[in-house]
Structure 1
Amino acid sequence: MPLIRSRLLPLLLTSSSSLSSRLTPTSTLRLRLFTSMADAIESGKRIAAYQAVDEYILPSHKAVGIGSGSTVVYAVERILQRPELRHIVFIPTSFQSKILIVDGGLKLGTIEQCVHGS
């Protein structure tokens, strides 16, 4: 479930003076439209990340930098689906990407290792 939906829907549907009981047909339609737009955006991010990994990360690479932001989750997801990329050392540019690398069981490296060749 996309992050936006996972944060909004519990707030809308669970409280005792629930907002969902006060939703009008128009506001319900707006919520559905917002949700489907958020799904479309997340789907586009996934497609872009998968294509970037497939086109630009090659098994011959020794090290690859992993950036940050909302799309990087999908890039790491795609890397994990490609076992021929598991030997690559991944260098995070943020705490978020470091967590994704470690949680995915990928090889974590530092920029110093690559610059000095160690």
Structure 2
Amino acid sequence: MNVLVVDDNELHLKMCRILLRNLGHEVVTATSLQNLKDQMKTIGIPDVALIDYRLSTTETGVDVIEYLKGSSNWVGTKYIALTADVSERAQLDRAGFDMVAFKPISEILLKELID
């Protein structure tokens, strides 16, 4: 599968990239909504998008999913929110994420989310 990971934490991006590649997936990463916008014409449509909720002080995963659902043709993409805060669950469900996963992320959890 083709997997997109959006997270402003470089260490988390690297960890997800390694774990997902170990599971046999192709991985594209972005550190912000703007970084994702810059790549959209070249990355193709992912099967799964893992999007961190807290991207920066001015940007959240809700901003990313609203942009993608409003301006892309990523029909069929499974959107999964990543967060460390269980209190954000209701807001992420309302935003249109297909699933919400809680950090820390493990290889076992990634396999369950994507397969």
TM-score scaled by length of structure 1 = 0.40
Structure with greater strand share of residues = 2
Q: Which has the higher helix share?
A: 1
Structure 2 length-normalised TM: 0.41
Task: Pick 1 or 2: higher relative contact order, CA cutoff 8 A, min separation 6.
Answer: 2
Bigger Rg over Cα: 1
